[in-house]
Each structure stands twice: as C-alpha cells, then as structure tokens.
Chain A
Amino acid sequence: MRFVPCHPLHLVLGLTVWSAWFVVLYGGLSVACQLAPPDPANGPSTWVNPLLWLSTLVVVAALLWAALRLWRAAPDQSQANRRYISLTSAALYAVSAFATLAVAAPVLFLPPCI
C-alpha cells in the first residue's frame, strides 16, 4: 500500500491508531490480570508493565514517524488544500503520539492488577 501524504484519511488515522492501542492496552491489562496476575508485592516491577510500556513505545515511534513524514512531504503554498491536509494530519499524528505517552505514563509506577 502506498503512503499518500495528502490523503484526507490521515486526518483520522493517527487517532484511530491511538484508539486501537488504547483498547489493546486496557483489554490486554484485563486479560493479563485475569490469567496470570503478578504478585502485588512487586509493585510496578512485573512482567506486565514492561510489556505495556513496550507497546506504547512502538506506537509512539510509529506515530512520530508518520508525523515527520507528512510534515516533510507537505507541498508548497501553490497546492494549498493538499498542504493544509498534510500539515494538519502531521500535527494530529504528533497529538496522537503525545496522547499515547500521556495515557501510558502510569504504567511506569503503578502495579497492574490491584
């Protein structure tokens, strides 16, 4: 599939990825706590937390890559509408990356299943 920087779908793609990640994060945590809950005494030092954090970093990296790619690929002012879509989408990818990091931050310091 070709990466078309001016496609209007980019306007919603970043936050769609965020939504999917959010569901996986919440669902994954619930399943992990149901099937193999780690010892609460370990606090955040469990097998669950690094896994959740890893998923976060992968998603953040992908979103930032997309943001950068669109920012660089934005056409000049002569193609105002395409430029508008590219730059707005780039910003939305960056917003999605920020939202991903912000929501996942508690993974660093809270135990998963209490």
Chain B
Amino acid sequence: MNDQQQVNARRHREYDRVWGNWPGWGALAAVNHTSVGLRFIVTGLFFFLIGGVLAMLMRTQLALPEQDIVGPELYNQLFTMHGTLMMFLFAIPVLEGGAMYLIPKMVGARDLPFPRLGAMGYYCYLFGGLIILSSMALSIAPDSGWFMYTPLSSSTYSPGPGSDFWLLGITFVEISSVSGAVELVVSILRTRSSGMSLRRMPIFCWYILAMALMIIVGFPPLILASVLLELERAAGFVFFEVAGGGDPLLWQHLFWLFGHPEVYIIFLPAAGIVSTLIPVFAQRPIVGYRWLVLAVITMGFISFGLWVHHMFTVGIPQLAQAFFSLASMLVAIPTAIQVFAWLATLWTGRVVWGLPMLWILGFLIIFVAGGLTGVMLALVPFNWQVHDTHFVVAHMHYVLVGGMLFPLIAGLYYWLPHVSGRMPSELLGRWAFWLVFIGFNMTFLLMHLTGLLGMPRRIYTYQADLGWDWLNLLSSVGGFVMAIGVGMLIVDILLHFRFGRLAPRNPWNADTLEWAVAMPVTTYNFISLPRIESRHPLWKDRQLPEALESGRGGLTDIQADRRVTWGSDAATGEVQQVVHLPSNSWIPLQTGVALAVTCLGLLTKFYWVALAAALIGLVVVLRWSWHNGGHPHAAPLRADDPVSPPLHSRTCDGPGRWGMLMTLLANGSLFACLLFGWFYFWTVSPQWQVPGEAPLTAAPLLISGVLLTIAALLQKRQVNRLCKGSAEGVELGFWISAALALAHALLLLWILPAADLAPRTLAHDAVLAVMLGYLLFHGALVAVLTALQALRVRLGYVRVELPYEPVVLQPLWSYTLTVFWIAFAAFILLPMAW
C-alpha cells in the first residue's frame, strides 16, 4: 500500500466511525439516507408481493364463470386491499425510497438534509402498512374499494372496523410520504454540490422535484378527507351524509384531487428512471433536456386539473365536464414530448441492449398503449360507456404497470451493482422480462375487450353465457404467467447477491455522480465533495471517482465528529453554507411507535390510550426539536467553526427554513381543501342547512385574532433583531409573544364549547368545529414552540451567533396568522354577507 492509499484507507475508517450505523439493534437508530432508502424499497417490495398474491386469488376466482372459490365478501376485501397495497404501500414508498437513496448521491451530497425525518417517515410507513395488513389477517379488511367512496364506506354500509383501518392506516402512511417529499425537495434545491446549477442538474432530479412537490400539494386532500370520514364514523360528525347537509360527492372530489395527481406522482419518478437510463445505454446525452424539463413541470401542474374525469357519471354540467376532458387530453402533450425525446435519443445513439434496456423497451410499448386508452377515456361519451367496466381496469394497469413497474425493474437492474457490487444474470433476467411482458399483455390487453363487452369491475363472478368466459380464462392464465416472471425476477435478484459476477466501477459507463461512490455503497457517499462543471460529470472527467476518494474535492476533513455536506444556492448551486446533519438517533423510532400506538388506540376505541400516546409523541418530537442548532448534542459553538462558508445554524437561511416552507405548503393545501369543502357545501350540497342563529359570534374571535396578530408582529421583530446582530430584549419578546399566542389559543378553547355547535346534526357546524380545532392547534403550537425558543435564548442555544431556529419558526407564525384571518373571513364574515 503506497502513501496515498494509506491516507485514503485512514480517511475511510474515520468516515465510517462518524457516519456508520450502530451495530446490532442499534441499526434501528440509523438515519442515513442509504439505509433508510433501502429499507423503504425492501419493505415496498414485500407489500408488492402480497398485493400480487391477492391479484392471483382474484384471477383464480374469475378464471371460470360462476365459481365460488372466493365469496363476495372476501372478494370485496381482496380488490380493496390489492389496490391499497399497490398504490399506497408499494408504488409511492418504493419510488420515494429509491429517490431517497439516489438523490443525495446524484447531487453530490453526503445525506439528505433531514435524516431523522426520513427515518421517522420509514417507521410511519412500516407501522401504518402493518396496521392495514393486520386487518386482513383478522378478516376485517376494508372492502369498499381502494377509493373508499362514501356512503359505501360510511358507518351505515360499512359498520365494521375495515374502513377505520384504511382511513387511519393510510393517513399514517401519508405522513411518511409527505415527510419524504419535503426532504427530497429541500435536498434537490439546497444541498447540490458546488457549481451544480439548475441547468446542470441530472434530469432525474427534475422528475423527483416535480414528484415531491406534487406529493406535498396532492396528498393533503386525502389526509383531510380521511380525517373527516373518520370523524364521521367514530364521532358521528356530519360531512358526507345528505340528511345533515353533507354530500357524499365531496369525498369523491377530495379523493380524486389526490388520486389523479397520484397517478402522475407514480409515473414521474419512473419516467425519470427512463430518462436516466436511455442516455446511458445510448451512450449520448438525452435529446431535448430543456424540453423534458418543460414537459415535467407542465405535467406536474396540468395533472391537478383532471380529477373530475373520474366523476364524469355523477351529474356534473356538460361544460364543466368539457373543461376536464380538455385538460385530460392536454396532459398527453407533455407525455408525448418525453416519449419523442426518448425515441430521438435512442435513434441518434449507439444503443447497448443490456438487461435494463429490455425493460425500458417493454415500458415504451405498454405505456404508450395505456396513454392512448387514456385519451379515449378523456372523451366524455366514451367514458360514460365504459365507466366501471374492465376496460378501465385494463387502462389503469397499462398506465401503472407499464408506466411504473417496468421502469422500476429497469432501474432495479441498473442500480443493483451499486448496492451489491455484483452484476445480475442476463439469462434469468431476460426470461423474467419475457414472462412478465407476455403475461401482462395476455392479462390486460384482453381485459380491454372484456370491458367493452360490458363486464363490470368489482364483481366476484359472472354468468356463463355472456361471452366473457374465454377472455377471463386467458386473462387469468396471463396473470399466472406474469406471476412466474415476477418469481423468476426475485430468484435472479436473490441469486445475484451470491453468484453475480463482481461489478467493475461504473459498470454501465454512466454519466451521473451516483456512480462515483464506492461499490458496494458506503453510508457517507463521498470522502470529498465534487465541483460540478458539466451535466455529465463522469463523462467529462472519468477520473473523478478516484479524485474524490483521494480527498481532492471539497469538505474533506472531519471536524468535531460532525456529519456535514454542502448547502448551496437553489438556482446556481454555488456553496453558501456547510450543513451539519444529525447522527444516529432513536427519536425517529420512538416517534413512529408513539404514532402507531395512537393509531391503534383510535382503532380499538381506547381513546385515553390514543391521547396518552399522542402526548408522549409530542414530547418526543419536542425533544427532537430541542437537539438542534447550538445544542451540545448538535453543533455547539466552537472557536474553530468554519467561517467561509459558515455552518448553516450560524446563518439566517438554511435547509430547515426551506423544510418549514414546504411543510407549510402541504398544510396550506389541506387548509385550502377545508375551504373548498365549506364553499362546496354552501353552493352544491343538496340539503345544506344553516342554523337559524350563527353559532359563532365575531367579537371573541376578533379579540383572539388581534392577540395573535400582536404576537406574530412581536415575534417577527425579535427575529429581525437577531438577524441584524442584536439579541437585546429578544428573550423577553419571545416570552411575551408566546404568552399572547397562548391567550389566543385559550380564547379559542373557550369559544369552541361555548359556541353550542351541533356537529353531529349539521354539516355546517361540523366544518366549523374542524376549522376551530385547526386554528386552536396552530395557536397552541406557535405558543409552545416560541416558549421553547425563549428558553433556548436563556440557555444560549439561540443568540446572535446562532439566530437560525427562530428564523425557521418565523414562516409558521406568518402561516398561522394568515389562515386565521382567511378563516375569519370565510367562516364568519362571508356567511353574514351571503
């Protein structure tokens, strides 16, 4: 070993010590993105296999007419759980996990900006998934379909606990998805390596950025809808019951406001995999990078304007249907731009037909076919004809399996050597591909015809003389062929860990940074961080991996055992800060367990247990927030702190502030949906009833609003002072601010019971109660968090040199104030003027 190699080995040992996971059970406290991302992927694949088994049971039942292998009750559970597992517990978490694994490596960072949040997200996902799955084992699984339409899912028609498992479990899983999305957005925008401007960003990052922002905006509608339905089921509140002034169609609106973007949330990262792999296997840069960026952004927005095309048969006016029909066709344009860019890249490149490319080819064929039937379904008259038939099931599977599963498997094969250091088997892999491809088309191509012949979806059996027999039989045979293909794929992947040939570094001659890390991958990715001067760093400088390993990049030396990575400008990628990251921690697991117990308490109706667990969870989360910034467990002030660039907690901007803004974007989406529900009831609800006398009087609310306004202004003043370099009176300012916010919250707490609301009788009052609860939660939250900041000022964790945390808190104050006055206008003033 020469001197340089000895130095490298010493650095690796040092990095392993600081960045490594704890041994044994301590691995559960791991927070680094590689471990967490892989856990998401493996868990997601486990749920995929279970979902697949459920599909096979359904195909067995439908293979022949008038069979009774599976009864109607169990069949209802099977299709509900199949959809739920595949959409919520497989597709999103696997793709998000993959993104969590890849993004820091692709942008040249050592970790995601909020490692503990990612780890907590994983535990929420795992526990939420297991809770939903446990309902199957107990034979009380939800059975209203994966979109849980009311009133079928309401307590009248689904009195058992199945719907509750779905609503609580899915909300739990969605917390995980949103937290992962917040991390990904901030990672892409604020932790790119030096010089990686937006135009030099790997195309995959654009896709993930769009996906993550879509999750942040698109998931809260379902979270709200689930909370409302659970309140209706468990507490008797009225939201979706016509008799009390509610409307079951509100559920459909809220569900599809989430549900349609969800399809694109699943498609975009998969398309990102395609856009990453095709240039590598064509050995040339992607054609039309800017066009792809344009298409991705356009798709991210337009896909939110399609939700009503799932509701064409519910009686919406023709003109409104036409808006959504046009928007549904419009979204085909950015999709087509991407397809043409991929084809042009293949056309002009020298394609190496490796195993991943085979799956990409399968994707292109199946997805384009699925897209075309999508345009057919966007046409209102055709949609009416095939609504709720197997045609829709076939279309959906063409889009989702073609648009997600095939690229996912391509990506799996492509990045396998990254994880294992070994290459997959070409022979087994090709067999698996052809079995899946043939089996899939046999199942679902024929299903289009079954649907056109009138076979409704979600029926557990059918008569023999309807002309559906041979189609169903062949679909079932195809399903089993596909299942054998999936089995072969699993065998191939498992065997390759033992028998695969050792992979050389960068085995596909790729251009992106993730191939510059050691294989199998380490927990810290890079010993030193690269300077990026091209969109294709590994094609520009083939010696880059060795250079980085030898410490010839930036931020090489470990200081004070801190985990650090660059913090950069969102547009230019120029370094602004050194972001210090937390190390292994039990807090994410503790939070996940507390939330799981809360969930179980609600499910079993042991509400005191749920409340106690929620309070414990709150304490754990506050402890989490306490171990930040200048706290001795995080990054206390030191004489040798870096100055240029400084540590992020010594500045007035940083990833935490961006994370707060993204969280508030999700929160704002939820609040906007609540407002939507309110206005929807007022205008459309068939039996909307307003109490004779307004239950809420304006004066007490006005006083509480004034208190909040003064508190918010005071808080902002203290933050400005800190950032301008003065800490004079800051602690007192925070205390007063917290006290005023507390007074505001207490006033709301008094208003709530004093208002004499009847939420169990009237939808009007039920929405008011939820709105008051929402405002109360935010008022109490800012009070507690600001009091903690005051305490931190006293202890010296917040001071002129450490102004960061109040800056992070500031947007929450602005948000709380804004939603209060919007709510006041919408819920108090507007009804007065109506």
Contacts and interface: CB of A to CB of B under 8 A. Distances in A.
A29 interface: yes
A19 B305 contact: yes
B644 interface: no
Contacts of B330: 99, 102-103
A111 interface: yes
Question: Which of B290, B293, B302 is packed against the most chain A CB atoms within 10 Å?
Answer: B302
B297 A92 contact: yes
Contacts of B679: 27
A34 B684 contact: yes
B304 interface: yes
B294 A95 contact: yes
Interface residues of A, number: 39
A31 B683 CA distance: 6
A105 B322 CA distance: 9
B327 interface: yes
B301 interface: yes
A102 B326 contact: yes
Contacts of A106: 319, 322-323, 326
Per DSSP, chain B at the interface is helix
Per DSSP, chain A at the interface is helix
A113 B317 contact: yes
A99 B302 contact: yes
B320 A29 contact: yes
Interface in B267-300: 290, 293-294, 297-298, 300
Interface in A77-114: 80-81, 84-85, 87-88, 91-92, 95, 99, 102-107, 110-114
B268 to A, nearest CB: 15
Nearest to A91: B294
B631 interface: no
A73 interface: no
A7 B787 CA distance: 36
Interface string B193-206: 00001110000000
B2 interface: no
Contacts of A8: 198, 570-571
Contacts of A26: 308, 320, 323
Contact of A88 (B294, B301, B317, B570): B294
Interface in B31-47: none
Given A92-B297, A103-B305, A106-B326, A30 B320 contact: yes
Interface string B302-331: 101100100000000111101100110010
B572 interface: yes
Given A11-B297, A84-B199, A84-B290, A29 B317 contact: yes
Interface in B551-596: 570-572
| Nearest 10 A/B pairs, CB to CB | A106-B322, A15-B301, A84-B199, A81-B197, A110-B319, A34-B683, A8-B571, A103-B326, A112-B319, A22-B305
28 contacts: A8-B570, A11-B297, A12-B297, A15-B297, A19-B305, A22-B323, A29-B317, A30-B683, A80-B197, A80-B199, A81-B198, A81-B199, A84-B198, A84-B290, A85-B571, A88-B290, A88-B294, A91-B294, A92-B297, A99-B298, A102-B326, A104-B323, A107-B319, A110-B319, A112-B317, A113-B319, A114-B318, A114-B319
Given A12-B301, A91-B294, 13 more contacts: A8-B571, A11-B297, A19-B305, A26-B308, A29-B319, A30-B683, A85-B199, A91-B290, A92-B294, A92-B298, A103-B327, A107-B319, A114-B319
Interface of B: 197-199, 290, 293-294, 297-298, 300-302, 304-305, 308, 317-320, 322-323, 326-327, 330, 570-572, 679, 683-684
